[in-house]
Amino acid sequence: MKVSGIGMQKNGGSMKKELEMNRYIGAVLGLVVGDALGVPAEFKSRAELKANPVTDMIGFGTHNQPAGTWSDDSSMAIATMEWLGEMENAIPDYTLLMDKSFYSWKLEPTDKMPAGARPGLSLREKAAELQRQEMLFGNYISGNYTVLDLVERYVAQKQGVQESTKEGYKTTINILKRDVFGKRKIKDVKISDAKMWIIGLQNSGKGYSYIQSIRGVVKPAFQMAVDDDLLIKNPFNFMLQDVMKNDSQKRISITPEQQERFLEFIKADKIYNKHYDAVYILFHIGLRISEFCGLTLADIDMKERIIHVNHQLLRLSDMRYMVTQTKTGCGVRDLPMTQEVYECFERILKKRKCPKVEPMIDKKAGFLFMDNNGIPKVAGHWQKAFNNMVKKYNCTNTVRLPEITPHVCRHTYCSNMAKSGMNPKTLQYLMGHSDISVTMNTYTHWGLEDAADELKKMEDVEKVRREMEKGQEKPMNQKMFRAI
């Protein structure tokens, strides 16, 4: 550019480029002006336009829009031209354009929406979100992703999980949002860093089970980065017991004698006898407490004496109530009632108050157990009731009871059935377990007394065998003994 006495002049190359740009701009403006002229006349017949030709910008008309409003045709053309301009001298990759294309009725957030169009983000807002996602992806492949970003990316891929699992994801994400560890770049996290973070959680008062759940989300998130070849090794690939002491209390079953004392106390107590039937059922059916809370009138078949279990009732952290499918596919089952359980349900149904309006949750109504406000009871209600009952028992009796929860009732039922000699596969069905190892290893509790009882039985059998052999010339073999 040169300066002269007459004014400013541009060299030939710059002038040519400016003329080309003016032609491009003129073409786009011509498109937009023509589009704006045509919007109010769209769909009109040739006869109508001949009688009332469009000679200026007019408002309203076919789409009831102000004068000068262009259509989505112009918006998409402008967006395409803008993208082509960003390409500069590069050869346009139209496949990339289609992969990143999106649609909106608005170019800017302040643009008015056409009548009847569904509200949504403008093209500018969608483009900004796309840029944000591209930046995150760029950070991901370069290792600049933060721990929080990584966990959010991992969780976004977990579709179709249980609500309780989603709650666990939310808890982990919220912790990382508050913790400085969540802001660390994944490429900088070493095994020692991961261990120190775990120790910090424990020092802040978090228990072993809680931390185990958090690690159960963070560890596979880092494994995803390893599988994507972004990291060489997973910094959370270590035994949790090597870092912190397992202070979690193992769920136990109570003895038949403890169960009997507890039930007798509840039955005789003036305050808590209202819970007797429910507690008895929990000890003698083995339902998960969420399944128990979800029982409705339609689930109790008193004629056939069957309990239909096909859903559970949950209350989420945001206090929303939700009916979901059972914990596992095997949780859907029909449970037969014993005579005592049948009588408990008879009394429960007889005492149940019929509200003016049955509360409905996810198309389920007629819940058996409701609080004083007419809201279906959830696990928290029963946990509190059990805590109060055990506390009162221990205050009035010299021989104390251990902690008893609805889940302890389930463990106790499973152990009692196993010790009674029930077929393991039958017990697995009744418990609703998808894996029999859970039934036999986690829910059945055997101790010294059980082992002694089994040995005593074997001794008694051997005594009978010897007595029977005394009266016969030919010794009895094991096969003959079994037949007898």
Catalytic residue at 411?
Answer: no
Nearest to 370 by CA among 427, 433, 295: 295
| Cα–Cα distance measured from residue 313 to residue 289, given in angstroms and rounded to the nearest whole number | 9
Q: Which of 106, 276, 443, 445 is catalytic?
A: 443
Q: Give CA separation, 455 vs 253, 444, 452, 462, in Å.
A: 22, 18, 5, 11
| Cα–Cα distance measured from residue 361 to residue 262, given in angstroms and rounded to the nearest whole number | 33
Q: Which of 288, 311, 411, 445 is catalytic?
A: 288
Q: What is the number of helices (H) and of strands (E) in the chain?
A: 19, 7
The number of beta carbons lying within 10 Å of the beta carbon of residue 225 is 21
Q: Which of 284, 311, 411, 433 is catalytic?
A: 433
Residues in CB range of 258: below 8 A, 6 or more apart: 401, 402
What letter does residue 65 receive in the DSSP assignment?
B
In degrees, to the nearest 5, what angle opens at C-alpha 141 toward C-alphas 140 and 144?
A: 50
Catalytic residue at 275?
Answer: no
Contact at 8 Å (CB) between 323 and 339? no
C-alpha atoms less than 13 angstroms from C-alpha of 375 in its C-beta half-sphere: 11
Catalytic residue at 327?
Answer: yes
Contact at 8 Å (CB) between 368 and 297? yes
| Cα–Cα distance measured from residue 428 to residue 422, given in angstroms and rounded to the nearest whole number | 10
Q: Letter for the amino acid at 163?
A: E
Contact at 8 Å (CB) between 481 and 465? yes
Catalytic residue at 364?
Answer: no
Q: Which two tokens stand for residue 370?
A: 């409701």
Residue 309 host element (H or E): strand 306-309
Contact at 8 Å (CB) between 312 and 294? yes
| Cα–Cα distance measured from residue 87 to residue 253, given in angstroms and rounded to the nearest whole number | 69
Q: Which of 219, 261, 327, 419 is catalytic?
A: 327
**205 φ, ψ (degrees, to nearest 5):** 105, 0
Q: Which two tokens stand for residue 460?
A: 């008694």
Catalytic residue at 433?
Answer: yes
Q: Give CA separation, 110 vs 73, 80, 113, 118, in Å.
A: 18, 21, 9, 15
Q: Which of 410, 411, 413, 445 is catalytic?
A: 410
**332 φ, ψ (degrees, to nearest 5):** -80, 115
DSSP letters spanning 313-377: EEE-TTS-EEEE--SSGGG-EEEEPPHHHHHHHHHHHHH----SS---BTTB--BS-B-TTSPBP
| Cα–Cα distance measured from residue 88 to residue 477, given in angstroms and rounded to the nearest whole number | 95
Q: What is the largest distance, in Å, between two alpha-carbon atoms of the chain? A: 140
Q: Which of 185, 206, 261, 407 is catalytic?
A: 407
Residues with catalytic annotation?
A: 288, 327, 407, 410, 433, 443
